[in-house]
Amino acid sequence: MSIRVAVDATPLLDNPTGVGGVTRALLERLGRSPEVAVVAFSVSWHGRGRLPGLVPGGVRAAGRPMAARPLRWAWSHGDWPPIEHWTGPVDVVHGPNFVVPPTRGAARVVTVHDLTAVHHPELCTDDVLHYPDLLRRAVDAGAWVHVPSAAVAREVVDHLGADPERVVVVANGVDAVPPAPAGAGRARAGRERYVLALGTLEPRKDLPTLVAAFDLVAADDPDVGLVLAGSDGWGAEAVHTAVANSPHRDRIRLTGWVDEQARAALLRDATVLAYPSLYEGFGLPPLEAMAVGVPVVSTTVGSIPEVLGDAADLVAPGDPTALAAAVSRVLTDERHRVDLIGRGRERASLYSWDVFAAALIDLYRRAASASGTAP
């Protein structure tokens, strides 16, 4: 018998990156599964009416609009109103973006992608700073916690007081990067060889350090460029300032948000992907790069060593000299580059969205069984 699951699809209302991409990958597979009857809802007054056109096939969209601000306030202070008011009866509700609403009786599952708000509150917006309190409230009320890595699982137990038996590691998958016309990425970058960074321009990604590292690399390599592909997030001014002050700013390209086709082209043609984050709970762009044969340089923070293993060159965060040395090695040492590419392809093959969705369906059944709502 199918299990009835409600999923917060609010992340689909934004450009499909990060959590939005994870949410879409999950809903696509839930919608195709005979084991699940899935309804999606969105906590957004401005996005009302848009969800039916955004959810994948096989997913029903809850029709009644929801106002985010009053609901977030109500849910942070009590257990009313329950989500079934919008979704109808369900066995499980899943919040894939740090927040899971109260229910009449359905089991609750919440995804914690990372604990940036705990480790680096200075890197967070005001709404993100509320996540730990909301998560503690959900955990105390018996919610199950899905995390993408063992590193985040330990943090959830240590910092949120979660029962280890209710914290379940299910790693993200890796999207197949679409094909792209030969040379399309190089044309967009304006360079035959370029270092690529993918993701929102925000403090956690530490792109000013990458710009400083690029300046060191570019001083010895007159042909290489740097492409920063991502929309402006909060704190993006620091990135723009770093670029404006770079002596090699004519070789740095800020693309803004890129669609799937442009993103695929940039990924496939990149010489190296740089991922200099200060903290990560998983890290999808490095795995996507590995899947298409692009070597990766990243940092030794959060879950990155766990996820990437020995398939990337890892350096200490916030160190432009070390980052520059790692990038230069990939650019100049062909044997090392080929070795990284081989290890990267093998590493990326370990991560599957189909396995991800199957494991979450198993978690839904465990949660529903524990709460007595299993069909």
Q: What is the pLDDT of residues 32-50, one digit of tens each?
A: 999 999 999 998 877 778 9
Omega into 148 within 30° of 0, i.e. cis? no
Residue 81 domain flag: yes
pLDDT of the residue at 15:
67
Interval 129-136 mean pLDDT: 88
pLDDT of the residue at 16:
63
Question: Residue 230's domain spans which residues?
Answer: 184-348
CATH number, residue 27: 3.40.50.2000
146 plus 240 within the same structural domain:
no
* pLDDT score of 97 more than 90: yes
* pLDDT score of 78 more than 70: yes
Interval 246-254 mean pLDDT: 97
The encoded tokens of residue 1 equal 């018998």
358 plus 343 within the same structural domain:
no
* pLDDT score of 189 more than 80: yes
Percent of the chain past pLDDT 70, that is, above it, reads 99
Residue 178 domain flag: no
210 plus 301 within the same structural domain:
yes
Interval 151-176 mean pLDDT: 96
pLDDT digits (tens, 9 = 90+) for 281-300: 999 999 999 999 999 999 99
pLDDT of the residue at 38:
98
pLDDT band at 74 (very low <50, low <70, confident <90, very high): confident
17 vs 295, more confident: 295
Q: Which of these, 263, 283, 277, lies nearest to 202 by C-alpha position?
A: 277
Buried b vs exposed e over 320-357: b needs ≥16 C-beta within 10 Å? bebbbbbbbbbbeeeeebeebbebbeebbeebebeebb
Q: How many CA atoms lie within 13 A of 193 on its CB side?
A: 13
46 vs 216, more confident: 216
Average pLDDT over all residues of the chain: 94
Residue 179 domain flag: no
Interval 314-328 mean pLDDT: 98
- Give the number of domains in the chain: 2
pLDDT of the residue at 17:
66
Residue 47 domain flag: yes
357 plus 341 within the same structural domain:
no
Residue 361 domain flag: yes
CA distance 95 to 8: 5
Helix or strand (DSSP H, E) at 38: strand 36-41
34 plus 46 within the same structural domain:
yes
164 plus 206 within the same structural domain:
no
CA distance 310 to 307: 9
206 plus 117 within the same structural domain:
no
306 plus 273 within the same structural domain:
yes
217 plus 331 within the same structural domain:
yes
pLDDT of the residue at 96:
96
pLDDT band at 270 (very low <50, low <70, confident <90, very high): very high
Tell me which of 172-176, 270-274, 321-325 is least confident. 172-176
31 plus 169 within the same structural domain:
yes
* pLDDT score of 128 more than 90: no
Q: Which of these, 78, 98, 100, lies nearest to 90 by C-alpha position?
A: 100
pLDDT digits (tens, 9 = 90+) for 150-161: 999 999 999 999
Interval 348-366 mean pLDDT: 97
pLDDT of the residue at 130:
84
The whole-model pTM stands at 0.92
Interval 170-182 mean pLDDT: 94
CA distance 292 to 307: 17
pLDDT band at 76 (very low <50, low <70, confident <90, very high): confident
pLDDT of the residue at 122:
87
116 plus 145 within the same structural domain:
yes
Residue 34 domain flag: yes
pLDDT of the residue at 9:
95
167 plus 242 within the same structural domain:
no
Q: Which residues contact 113 (CB under 8 A, 6 or more apart)?
A: 19, 22, 97, 98, 147, 148, 152, 281, 282
Buried b vs exposed e over 291-300: b needs ≥16 C-beta within 10 Å? bbbbbbbbbe
CA distance 234 to 52: 29
